[in-house]
Structure 1
Amino acid sequence: MARATIYVGFTVPQLLRGVSRCFSSHSALVVLRHSAFCYCTANGTIKSKRKMDHLERTAKNFRQEVISQAKVCGITNESETVKRLRLSIANKDFTFKAGQWVDFFIPGVSVVGGFSICSSPGLLEREGLLELAVKHTVHPPAHWVHTECTVDSEVALRVGADLHGYQESKGNGYKMGTVKVYYSAKNTSELLFKRNILGLMNAFPGKITCRFHVTQQRSQICKELQPHVTEGRISEKDLEKHVSKDTLWYICGPPPMIESISKLLSNIGVPRNCVFFEKWSQHIFAL
């Protein structure tokens, strides 16, 4: 029997690059709210009393030993608050899997950043390139990206993974599951990668669906998005219809959002061992 998986969080880059993994005999429902979706830490609750440093927060997570030099070769404004960095990787042995993130080392900046990779392993294999999406905040690495980073800036990267050792299903019993995404942001301009998601929905009809939620939309929503947009926050009513024993839920976002959704899921009867979240998600886009 196919298993359902629900992703709750703040943005979509990792869904885009890791869609093939999501389908591995699982059905998925994703709730995204403007941050990156990535492999998560299994737990039912999270408490956030103070902001932890990225290295402190992820101290027990697996990391590759190698630290690779990289050079910024492209900077794109994905929205008013998010920049996409394209990096050329010097080390030919540098590799990553869908769902992993990087420690981001900046010369002259003592704080180490933690950002999700928003490009596919295929781009790295073909062209030696990797992309990161970074939201503007006062967090030193994110602040540097938005105020000082230029083309040809040099940095260093180290790959980490919350679920190191994850094994993809093998054998002849493969069955494509489904992915349902709830993706919320302030307005449609902050729905990063929305056209990529629409493309996936068209490429996999019935297998990938997404409901965009906007909470402070002031302008008219474009016709392309209108059929897929709901004004207002993701609610208990939105999620409760997907509750089943075969459903997994993935939450992605800053700690207060994770706490809120975790409590909501508990209220509608979702077992704790079926809920996964990013314990350092404010650093994915340095939120």
Structure 2
Amino acid sequence: MADTHRIRFEPVDIEMEVTEDDKILDAAFRQGIHLMHGCREGQCSACKSYILEGELQMERYSTFACNDAEVAEGYVLLCRAHAYSDCTIELLNFDPDELLGGIPIQTLSARIAAIEPVTRDIVSLRLKTEAPLEFKPGQYVDITIPGTDDHRSFSMATTQSTPDELEFLIKKYPGGRFSALLDGELAVGHELALTGPYGSSTLKDGHVLPVVCVAGGAGMAPILSILRHLRETGSTRPVRFYYGARTAADLFYLDAIKELGADLTGFEFIACLSESMEGSDGIEAEQGNVTDIVERRESQLPKCEVYLCGPPPMVDAALGLLEASNVPHDQVFYDKFTSPATE
């Protein structure tokens, strides 16, 4: 049986127990402690913290999330870290309201209600769950790959208005362990297991700053959830949505976005096409990388709340822009959609 150690988090004065087999972030979730996190795969740095005392070792992680110099200095990714002694850890990012009051993690079964392609490489997966799933706009769940103990993480595009009817937008990868199943192996009526919700890139109710959303690829899903929630709650916050795609053929749900925008204050949707403008007639679109277009159009970013969702290169470029624009860190929320080769 694995040894158990005591973990103390500063500066929040919270303690918990963890076995040597447990990753610290997972152990925290089970004990109702909701630490900041993103991908939970050692690739995004959202859970990066600092070791004040004790012995920790990390499983495989990306050096882009925590480089060798940082590790040598004492930084650690809690989603990859195992404790081998009692430890004191300084949390570099935390939400006081979420730490002990986050939504409990649930495990549910669900049946597939629909599988529909929306572009050449993105599929809409709709599920009907056995019980309502409580979650916040911008969060995600783990879906277990049938016949394995492995999972893939996908964000909800829906809201709490349909807590037992969930939609996910999934990018297909050649040979993908889950996404390839959507080409015929999985079908309407098949059962899937879900665990969640996870994710700290959630819409903060009660805030009043204008909202700027930046997404690419399947990052459309959590942004749709955020936009739908803003409409359902009658929010008067101005909203602008920048979506990065290669060509007009990679755009989707334009009618749904237009319908949502009609009920939102000062809403603008800008399609950012990096390769070609062909076929974009009738669409508000600009040619270029999404972050370059945001930089050109948004002169008041420090006075906005910014939500980023999409592939790591896009999110990293956007974070660099926000840093250079002096946007306060507590006004930036992001989710990197990692894409392992075994997706």
| Distance (whole Å) between structure 2 residues aligned to residue 167 and residue 237 of structure 1 | 25
User: Shift in Å at residue 164 of structure 1?
Assistant: 9.2
TM-score by length of 1: 0.66
RMSD: 3.8
Greater relative CO (CA pairs within 8 A, separation 6+): 1
Matches within 5 A, 1:61-80: 64-80=104-120
Conserved in 1, the CA contact under 8 Å of 2:105 and 2:197?
A: no
What is the aligned counterpart of 1:136 among 172, 181, 186?
Answer: 172
Aligned to 1:250: 307
Instruction: String of CA shifts for 1:141-198, please: whole Å, max 9, x gaps.
Output: 223234521112211112223239986329xxx9721111111101122223222111
Take 1:215 and 1:165, find their aligned partners in 2: how far apart are those partners?
A: 27
Runs of 4+ in structure 1 displaced over 6 angstroms?
Answer: 59-63, 164-167
Distance in 1 (alpha carbons) for counterparts of 2:149 and 2:47: 30
Q: CA deviation at 1:49?
A: 8.3
Note closer, same or farther for the CA distance 1:164–1:210 as it changes in structure 2 (3 Å cut).
Answer: closer
What corresponds to 1:200 in structure 2?
A: 260
Rg (Cα) greater in structure: 2
Write the distance in 2 (CA, Å) between the matches of 1:132 and 1:96: 14
Decide which of 195, 208, 219 is 1:158's aligned counterpart.
Answer: 195
Match of 1:103 among 109, 127, 142: 142
- Paired residues, number: 229
Residue by residue over 1:69-122, the C-alpha shift from the partner in whole angstroms, topping out at 9 and shown as x without a partner, is 1111211111111111111212x3533332221110132133211001112322
- TM-score scaled to structure 2, two decimals? 0.56
Paired residue for 1:148? Answer: 185
Q: Secondary structure at the match of 1:189?
A: helix
Does the C-alpha gap of structure 1 residues 93 and 210 become closer, same or farther in structure 2, counting only changes over 3 Å?
closer
| Whole-Å separation in 2 of the counterparts to 1:89 and 1:142 | 20
Query: Quick one: distance in 2 between partners of 1:267 and 1:168?
Result: 27
Task: Tell me the equivalent position of 2:273.
Answer: 214
Counterpart amino acid of residue 178 in structure 2: P
Structure 2: 5+ residue stretches without partners: 1-44, 49-62, 68-77, 83-93, 208-233
Where does residue 33 of structure 2 map in the other structure? Answer: none
- Report the Cα distance in structure 2 between the residues aligned to 1:233 and 1:165, rounded to whole angstroms: 25
Q: Distance in 1 between matches of 2:147 and 2:309?
A: 30
Displacement of 1:67 after TM fit? Answer: 1.1
Contact between 1:114 and 1:283, CA under 8 Å: does it hold in 2?
no
